[in-house]
Amino acid sequence: MNISVKLPSSFSSLATPVKYAALLTPITLTSFLLAPASGLASASGPDLQSSLQDSPKAVLDEAWQIVHQEYVDNSFNQTNWQQTRQQLLGQEYSSRESAYDALRRALNQLNDPYTRFLSPAEYSDLTDQTSGEVSDIGIYLQKDPTTGDVFISEVLAGSPAEQSNLQAGDKLVLVDGQSTTQLTIQGVSQKLRGDEGSQVTLTISRNGGQPRSVVVTRARLEVATVEFLQNTYRGRSIGYIRLLEFNAHAAEQMEEAIISLQDQGVEGFVLDLRGNPGGLLLASIDISRMWLQHGPIVRTLDREGDDDSISANRTALTDLPMTVLVDGRSASSSEILTGALQDNDRATVVGSATFGKALVQSLHGLADGSGLTVTVAHYYTPNGTDISKKGITPDVEIDLSARERRDLFNNPDLLGTESDSQYLRAVEVLTQTIASEICSTTPTC
């Protein structure tokens, strides 16, 4: 079963040219999985490798070798990376956790928040997130702030929950015997997830009735990362698309949104990237190509000074006018897409300055199920701009107050409506562009 679902509010969010399968979020990584570098055997030696077998040190050495081979700064922030290896392998560790802590301290020497170690649970969560799929039962939850009771707010069509006759309004009393009142919404959501085909036992109460138990079998669900609708503004039909993150299904969902809205006769698009922390670089390239017929998209530069330029390939789905909405939480892949559209004069960017993450990471799975993200390249917008730590400045700047931002993003149904001042400014700019283009082809305008 593969059902497309909206992204639950409790699902926490986190880019690749042909060369890199990189993740680009404010604290992210890459889906470029490599085995330990065989070319570094001389740094290890067969005797040492044998002594490391079944020891926490094996994972430390595996991680060290990946950083040694790939890290973007071959001075390793002016540290003696060979000495770091000796220190890591020269210690004794009472547990895997103590070894993990030592690795984290070693990576901290690089002064790079994006090169980091992931515990097995963190690595599993991240790979699930970037895959755009979760193994779940397909419900949304809400918690009564007074009583602590947890209720089902929505049941996804076709999901295991619907097949088990769960309904919106049902009170979720227990999950596998544990009271939901003792857990946060995130905690309950985590317990509902598990391996595909595994089962979870829920105790529910409907309309105040006696609690009853229901056994639900988890299935693989596709997370909906694109939301879209047709709006009307001053007589113009406007397509509004919100992209939540750049996961493995983002491009196909974006294609569906563009085609559907064009079939509804929209005259232009507002693409909302506010709050989008990034994700897979490849997704940002694919989506850029849906909007750009030609022109450069991004250029990456690795530690050897080799650059890789990615361009549009004449596969655009639309040439209708567009504006792009961004804010300080639009990062990484969001900035690649925004920079490509802005530098190629394809869109007017509206909102506030973006996050400013101009680095590409690769994500590696380690032998014990943990993971490592490593910064492997720097990227630049088509005009050669380095946006690191300063972000992209919108063409039309409009900020939200702290209260406006809180009200909007705590109530996402308000986004893309008259209650959203940034959206109203974006759609105003868009309608002006539409009118201008009409006038340019109509002599009597």
Q: Residue 57 sits in a domain of what CATH number?
A: 3.30.750.44
pLDDT of amino acid 23: 56
Instruction: Specify if 334 maps to a domain.
Output: yes
* Same-domain pairing of 100 and 14: yes
354 shares a domain with 244: yes
Where is the domain boundary, 108, 129, 150?
129
Q: Are residues 187 and 258 in the same domain?
A: no
- Which member of 136, 170, 272, 343 is catalytic? 343
Token pair, residue 401, equals 């107050």
Together in a domain, 274 and 322 = yes
Q: Is 274 inside any structural domain? A: yes
CA distance 30 to 256: 26
- Mark out the alpha helices in 53-202 (DSSP H runs): 56-70, 81-90, 96-108, 120-131, 160-163, 185-192
Residues 98 and 188 in one domain: no
Domain membership of residue 368 (yes or no) is no
Task: Report the number of distinct structural domains present in the chain.
Answer: 3
User: Last residue of some domain: 69, 94, 129?
Assistant: 129
Same domain, 38 and 121: yes
Q: Does an H or E element contain 223, and which?
A: strand 219-224
Instruction: Please state the separation of Cα 80 from the chain's center in Å.
Output: 33
- Residue 367 domain-assigned? no
Q: Indicate the SS3 state at residue 174.
A: strand
Distance CA(330)–CA(244), nearest Å, equals 10
Q: Are residues 183 and 327 in the same domain?
A: no
Residues 309 and 181 grouped into a single domain: no
pLDDT in tens, 106-124: 999 999 999 999 999 899 8
Residues 132, 445: Cα–Cα separation, whole Å: 47
Is 387 among the domain residues? yes
Number of helices and strands (H, E) in the chain? 13, 22
- The DSSP output letter for 392 is P
The pLDDT tens digits of the residues spanning 156-186 come to 888 999 999 999 999 999 999 999 998 988 8
Residues 305 and 421 in one domain: yes
Q: What does the pLDDT read at residue 27? A: 38
Last residue of a domain, one of 204, 222, 240: 222
Q: For residues 332 and 47, what is the distance between their CA atoms, to the nearest angstrom?
A: 42
pLDDT of 249 reads 96
Q: Which two tokens stand for residue 417?
A: 């409506």
Catalytic one of 44, 357, 370, 420: 357
Q: Find, among 415, 363, 424, the residue nearest to 34 by Cα.
A: 363
Q: Does residue 357 have an active-site annotation? A: yes
Domain of residue 400, residue span: 224-361+377-441
The yes-or-no answer on residue 6 being catalytic is: no
**CATH for 318:** 3.90.226.10
Same domain, 342 and 405: yes
Co-location of 138 and 96 in the same domain: no
Residue 370 lies in a domain: no
Give the per-residue pLDDT at 54: 62
Low-confidence ranges of the chain (pLDDT < 70): 1-54, 444-445
Question: Residue 307: which H helix or E strand, with range?
Answer: strand 307-311
218 with 231, same domain? no
Given the residues 332, 352, 362, 370, select the one marked as catalytic: 332
Residue 316 in any domain: the answer is: yes
CATH number at residue 167: 2.30.42.10
